[in-house]
A and B are shown apart, each in its own frame.
Chain A
Amino acid sequence: MPDTLTHPTVTAVTLDLTINGRRQRVQADPGARLLDVLRDGLMLTGAKEGCGAGECGTCSVFVDGKLIKSCLMPAAKAQGAEVETVEGLARTGDLTAVQKAFHKTGASQCGYCIPGMVMAATATLRDNPDADIEEIKERMGGNICRCTGYSKIFEAVEIARDVIAGRLPHTALDPEAVGNSFIGHNTRRLDAPSKVTGRLRYAGDMVMPGMLHMQVLRSPHAHAKIVSIDTTEAEAYPGVHCVLTCDDVPGEDGFGVFVEDQPVMARDKVRHVGEAVAAVAADSVRTAREAMALIRVEYDELPGLFDPEDALKSGAPVIHDYAADNVVKHIPVRKGDIAAGFSAADVILEESFSTQQVEHAYLEPEAGLAYVDHDGVVTVVSPSQNITHHRHMLSHIIAKPINKVRFIMSPVGGGFGGKEDMIYQGMLALAAMKTRRPVKLVFTREESFVASAKRHPSRTRCRMGLTKAGRITAVEFEMLSDGGAYGMSSEGVMRKAAILSCGPYEIENLKVDTKVVYTNNTPSGAFRTFGGMQAQFATESMMDMAAERLGMDPFEIRRVNMMRAGSLTHTQQKLASAAIDRVLDAAEGASGWEKGAPSVRGESRGDLDGPGTRRPCTLGARVRETATDRFRP
């Protein structure tokens, strides 16, 4: 039975709704939100739950013609209302002009925000069929997309607007004709129709007969010894099928991308706030939550480490026994002789830079479904970015041969590296094995934030020597990163940061050290660029500072130093080709760059505000008042 609709201790309310033109009567928990009724009661899973707090827009639907966030509306408040969901937009089976335009422009990527985006775009054009681009942007400002950068979405809404208004022919929505090759052709995304209609089912949209629901008890402490865990009451709670702790792991416990230092659930101690400590599988999410509150964990708090510099001090608390110095990894790169390089320099610059911890913020929170099949194969369906490695790790965790472990990668609603870590699939597999029932887990947004890895924050010190002509003679580069509580991808991130550190320049003398340490902060892991961005932020800032000092144009100083065919990289690899010259030329030409040293010349530049720029944004000024303005209270 759908989860939130039935619970032994509450009386359901009866709701009469018109859903996509059809009158329907549904039973709902009095606490249910409209989103729950749509998703769990009516299986209309096009509306997604991205945050549960009205902040992301993935759950957008029309109620009596008004666009609302269905995660904020109590279902009972929709009594008697007409509800239109993404599934109802194109009832004949054909796509609407808005959906076709999204398909045409490539406006969907992971697709998780797209049903909500399509609803917001539809609302925009229903409210004002002549909305200009500025108004479109403002009206869609309540919907977050993490993949597309919004540009293709704007383009789609403008095309749809013009087709609907008859300013563009319907053929503007047709696919592009192909010439003599499909390589280089703007083939429309094959998965777009399933995304713009809300048909695509992500892990959190999947159901299986007899499915149980998991909830995870998480650590309230950053660093603490676990004295005891008492699950007796929780296990006895009606509707509970199993309670898991680290004692339920039959094999070799530990996962991680480079070092397998993280237990499926905390073992002996917790190392960060939000770490999984125990899990409950029950008939409903609500029952699982109630049972979770009955698990008694006794902690003995330990001194914590919250700053990477502190982690390196002697006498610092040790977070993992195997790493007494708290160092996860140090990567050195050496080339030439930096002492000689600096003595050949006419100018030497030295600066420090820092970058912050960044959340992936994919719109799809982590979710998964596990079951044991008829052949005894333990199967986990989840938006994992690395099913191959997860299969290996789960096989030793549950002590089964590789071919008795199966991972299926469900559609990923945004990953960016954040779904490479096996932070919940182990618990799901163990629960499915223990209960012999399918078990599903869906993270809340807060849970996703606290439990998943972030981009490594970094502190970089960079010393750069150059000749008067702008040629770099030496670089000394040191980066310290906070890896947080577990190793995850830290080692690889430091390696990539070190290899790429000094940028696309041929530098004869360099000394690079990147180091990552354990702390009791939220773990850092893989995130799009894998350390490359943090390192090159420092280097590219230095390049401009050097250009100002030497009175050189920033493109010019980069050309003086850039790698060429035959150049030796920082790790002394000989390059067969290097297109840095071509991309510098292309960016300079396309932007109409006015040459000059980067010495605060913004006010006198002649190349500003040209083609390729937008108008600055002033909030509220752009939504046109129309005769049928439904936004007015």
Chain B
Amino acid sequence: MKRKLRGRGVAASWYGIARTATIDRAGAWAELDDGGTAKIVTGVTEIGEGILTVLAQVAAEELGIRPEDVTIGDNDTARSPEAAHAGATRQTYMIGNSVALAAREARGKLFAEIADHWEVSAEQLRAFNGEIWVEDTNKRMTMGEAVARCKARGVVPVGAASFTAHGTGLDPVDGSGSPWQAYVFGTQVAEVEVDTVTGEVQVLGIWAAHDVGRVINPRGVEGQIEGGVAQGLGQALMEEWQTDKGHPVTHGFAKYILPTSLDIPEITSILVEDRDPKSPLGAKGIGEPALVPTAPAIMNAIYDAIGVRMKSLPATPEKVLAALAAKEGAAA
């Protein structure tokens, strides 16, 4: 047997978006502000996934301004509407859509005033990237001017909205029910190299294809996939919280081994868009689903390389060597 053997494996996956088997809801407020800026207030924020930027892009698109003109207001139960928790792959779907709806309402108030000012119908108005204009005419002004005009007419352009996802509970006997209104699917291919002397597995490549509904920020989605793959790889090969009669054995980073820059494969992300028909944005989500197929794809690749089926995670060098020895023992 060659010392280092390579193989490939694939795994598919699926996942539900937002809270499970229950109705989910989120609220947001929007205000088109002086200078063509905006305030968006919602009760939940960034845990690293890039939701602030996504919300700013969504608000900018709806309001006709630029993402950097948007200020996202506090994650504060006493100062902002309920948006519930930062989890369940629900941020883009729940908060993104509630911000889109709130921004539309604010825009509607501004458009009504500007349409009246220009003596056109609101349907003829377009706004993008800091400007508002009447299609096929020379009527055009900055969004800063439009907000000033709107306020001079006595109107502050504000909006508020709530977005609902209609999940239902499961039947207690047969589990039937509609836990989510939006589903995503993913497939990952892993390529590994197994050192048959040390038992070490290196993941060299991951090709990750994920349906995200509609991509708001491609780099942000890739970042979520790359991070999910790294966590999936950690769980597949090295991480394990161990206790002995309840007492921790792996109590710090010296004992609890995490993937570092040297463990990371080349990751190729392929973003598939199957738009969600039940929401204004059409986007779904990617946070959690990104890591579901990683570990089984790696285990399937290890099997392809050395013919041992790793059924117990993590596939540490010790376990891989033991499995190889058992296989050779069985063959002898």
Q: Do A and B come from one complex?
A: yes
On chain A, the residues within 8 Å of B247 by CB distance are 222, 273
A617 touches B235 (CB 8 A): no
- Interface presence of B149 (CB below 8 A): no
B254 touches A222 (CB 8 A): no
- Interface presence of A389 (CB below 8 A): yes
A186 touches B218 (CB 8 A): yes
A334 touches B183 (CB 8 A): no
On chain B, the residues within 8 Å of A455 by CB distance are 235
CA distance A553 to B252 in the complex (A): 42
* B253 in complex: contacting residue of A55, A148, A411, A605, CB < 8 Å: A55
B58 touches A183 (CB 8 A): yes
A334 touches B173 (CB 8 A): yes
B217 touches A536 (CB 8 A): no
- Interface presence of B82 (CB below 8 A): yes
Q: A146-B230, A358-B234, A415-B47 are in contact. List 15 more A-B contacts (CB 8 A).
A: A137-B261, A138-B262, A144-B260, A149-B231, A273-B248, A361-B258, A409-B86, A532-B15, A540-B13, A555-B10, A563-B14, A602-B7, A602-B8, A616-B193, A617-B202
CA distance A601 to B10 in the complex (A): 14
On chain A, the residues within 8 Å of B20 by CB distance are 492, 495-496, 499, 530
On chain B, the residues within 8 Å of A590 by CB distance are 189, 207, 209, 268, 270
CA distance A580 to B292 in the complex (A): 14
On chain B, the residues within 8 Å of A140 by CB distance are 261
A55 touches B14 (CB 8 A): no
Interface residues of B in 229-246 (CB under 8 A from A): 229-232, 234-235, 239-243, 245-246
Would you call the interface of chain B mostly helix, strand, loop, or mixed? mixed
The smallest beta-carbon distance between A308 and chain B, in angstroms, is 13
On chain B, the residues within 8 Å of A152 by CB distance are 219, 222-223, 226
The smallest beta-carbon distance between A536 and chain B, in angstroms, is 5
* B49 in complex: contacting residue of A109, A575, A577, A609, CB < 8 Å: A109
CA distance A419 to B86 in the complex (A): 9
CA distance A187 to B50 in the complex (A): 10
Interface residues of A in 297-347 (CB under 8 A from B): 304, 306, 331-335
Interface residues of B in 249-275 (CB under 8 A from A): 250-254, 256, 258, 260-268, 270, 272, 274
CA distance A91 to B122 in the complex (A): 49
Chain B 170-182 near chain A by CB (<8 Å), digits 1 or 0: 1011111111000
CA distance A603 to B78 in the complex (A): 62
CA distance A261 to B5 in the complex (A): 50
Interface residues of A in 137-159 (CB under 8 A from B): 137-138, 140-144, 146-154
On chain B, the residues within 8 Å of A603 by CB distance are 2, 5-6
- Interface presence of A571 (CB below 8 A): yes
Q: Given contacts A185-B217, A522-B241, is CB(A180)–CB(B15) below 8 Å? A: no
* B10 in complex: contacting residue of A183, A187, A391, A587, CB < 8 Å: A587
B87 touches A526 (CB 8 A): yes
CA distance A130 to B82 in the complex (A): 50
On chain A, the residues within 8 Å of B252 by CB distance are 51, 53, 55, 445-446, 449
On chain A, the residues within 8 Å of B217 by CB distance are 184-187
Interface residues of A in 152-190 (CB under 8 A from B): 152-154, 178, 180-190
The smallest beta-carbon distance between B167 and chain A, in angstroms, is 10
The smallest beta-carbon distance between B205 and chain A, in angstroms, is 4
CA distance A495 to B229 in the complex (A): 24
Closest to B214 in A: A183
The smallest beta-carbon distance between A601 and chain B, in angstroms, is 6
On chain B, the residues within 8 Å of A183 by CB distance are 57-58, 61, 214, 216, 281
B291 touches A529 (CB 8 A): yes
The smallest beta-carbon distance between B181 and chain A, in angstroms, is 9
* Interface size in chain A (residues, C-beta < 8 A): 157
- Interface presence of A490 (CB below 8 A): no
**Which stretch (B69-77, B110-118, B132-140, B156-164) binds chain A?**
B69-77
* A149 in complex: contacting residue of B76, B215, B227, CB < 8 Å: B227
On chain B, the residues within 8 Å of A467 by CB distance are none
Interface residues of A in 368-390 (CB under 8 A from B): 377, 379, 383, 385-389
B291 touches A528 (CB 8 A): yes
A528 touches B219 (CB 8 A): no
A356 touches B240 (CB 8 A): yes
* A587 in complex: contacting residue of B184, B209, B243, B303, CB < 8 Å: B209
On chain A, the residues within 8 Å of B67 by CB distance are 182, 187, 190
* B230 in complex: contacting residue of A149, A577, A607, CB < 8 Å: A149
On chain A, the residues within 8 Å of B230 by CB distance are 146, 148-150
Q: Which residues of B are in contact with A by a Cβ distance under 8 Å?
A: 2, 4-16, 20-21, 43-50, 52-53, 56-58, 60-61, 66-68, 70, 72, 74-78, 82-88, 128-129, 170, 172-179, 183-189, 191, 193, 202, 204-205, 207-211, 214-220, 222-223, 225-232, 234-235, 239-243, 245-248, 250-254, 256, 258, 260-268, 270, 272, 274, 277, 281, 287-289, 291-293, 295-297, 299-300, 303-307, 309, 311-314
* B211 in complex: contacting residue of A146, A385, A583, CB < 8 Å: A583
Closest to A526 in B: B87
A181 touches B188 (CB 8 A): no
* A354 in complex: contacting residue of B53, B85, B261, B312, CB < 8 Å: B312
On chain A, the residues within 8 Å of B274 by CB distance are 577, 579, 582
- Interface presence of A213 (CB below 8 A): no
The smallest beta-carbon distance between A389 and chain B, in angstroms, is 7
**12 pairs from A and B in contact (CB 8 Å cutoff):** A273-B247, A334-B173, A379-B78, A385-B86, A411-B45, A414-B47, A414-B48, A415-B87, A450-B251, A536-B14, A602-B305, A614-B205
Closest to A106 in B: B219
Closest to B305 in A: A602
Q: Given contacts A51-B253, A222-B246, A388-B84, is CB(A536)–CB(B77) below 8 Å? A: no
CA distance A222 to B183 in the complex (A): 40
- Interface presence of A576 (CB below 8 A): yes
6 closest A-B pairs by CB = A222-B246, A110-B48, A149-B226, A333-B175, A602-B7, A540-B296
- Interface presence of A417 (CB below 8 A): yes
B303 touches A385 (CB 8 A): no
CA distance A228 to B193 in the complex (A): 57
A582 touches B13 (CB 8 A): no
On chain A, the residues within 8 Å of B299 by CB distance are 537, 541
A504 touches B12 (CB 8 A): yes
Q: Given contacts A106-B223, A178-B129, A190-B56, is CB(A151)–CB(B264) below 8 Å? A: yes
